[in-house]
Amino acid sequence: MRKAIQDEVRAGNNYRYKIIAIDDEAGIIDSLSIFLKRTNYEFVGVTNPIEGIERIKNEHFDLLLLDFMMTPLHGDDVVEEIRKFNKEIYILLLTGHKDLAPPLETIKRLDIQGYCEKSDKFEQLLLLIESGIKSIEQMHEIKKINDMLEKSKEQLERTHLDTIQSLRYAVEAKDTYTRGHSDRVSEFSVLIGKKLGLTEKEIETLRVGGLFHDIGKIGVPDSILQKEVRLTDDEYSQIKNHPSIGAHILGEAEAFKDIIPIVKHHHERYDGKGYPSRLSGEEIPLLARITAVADAFDAMTSKRSYRGALDIEYVKEEIERCKGTQFDPKIADVFLDILNNEYYKIEEIQVKFPNN
State residue 10's pLDDT score: 41
118 counts as catalytic: no
What pLDDT digit, counting tens, does each position of 38-80 carry?
888 899 999 999 999 999 999 999 999 988 888 888 888 899 8
CA distances from 293 to 77, 200, 206, 319, 323 (A): 38, 20, 12, 8, 10
In angstroms, rounded to a whole number, what is the distance separating the alpha carbons of residues 52 and 46? 6
Which position among 37, 217, 303, 330 bears the catalytic label? 217
Q: Which CATH number applies to 156-352: 1.10.3210.10, 3.40.50.11810, 1.20.1050.10, 3.40.109.10?
A: 1.10.3210.10
In angstroms, rounded to a whole number, what is the distance separating the alpha carbons of residues 58 and 62? 13
Cα dihedral value 9, 15, 21, 26, nearest 10: 160
Q: Hey, which residues does 115 pair with through a beta bridge? A: 93
In angstroms, rounded to a whole number, what is the distance separating the alpha carbons of residues 336 and 205? 22
CA distances from 279 to 153, 205, 257, 289 (A): 36, 21, 19, 11
State residue 58's pLDDT score: 95
How would you write the pLDDT of the chain (356 residues) with one tens digit per residue?
434 434 444 444 556 889 999 999 898 899 888 888 788 889 999 999 999 999 999 999 999 998 888 888 888 889 989 999 998 899 988 887 666 666 677 777 778 887 777 776 777 888 888 888 888 888 888 878 777 766 665 555 566 556 656 766 776 666 666 668 889 999 999 999 999 999 999 999 999 899 889 888 877 777 777 677 777 777 778 888 889 888 887 876 667 889 999 999 999 999 999 999 999 999 999 999 999 999 999 999 988 766 778 999 999 999 999 999 999 999 999 999 999 999 999 999 999 988 76
The residue ranges of every structural domain in the chain are 2-134, 156-352
Q: Cα angle at 158 between 137 and 15, to 5 degrees?
A: 20
Q: How many CB atoms lie within 10 A of CB 67?
A: 23
State residue 356's pLDDT score: 65
The whole-chain average pLDDT of the chain stands at 84
All residues at 6 or more sequence positions from 230 whose CB lies less than 8 Å from its CB, including other chains: 306
What pLDDT digit, counting tens, does each position of 292-349 carry?
999 999 999 988 766 778 999 999 999 999 999 999 999 999 999 999 999 999 999 9
Backbone angles phi, psi at 134, to 5 degrees: -60, -40
Q: Which amino acid is at 24?
A: D
Q: Which CATH number applies to 2-134: 1.10.274.10, 2.40.30.20, 3.90.1010.10, 3.40.50.2300?
A: 3.40.50.2300
Burial level of 155, CB count in 10 A (0-12/13-18/19+)? middle
State residue 239's pLDDT score: 82
Assess whether the region 2-134 and the region 156-352 belong to the same CATH fold. no
> Would you give the DSSP letter of residue 123?
H
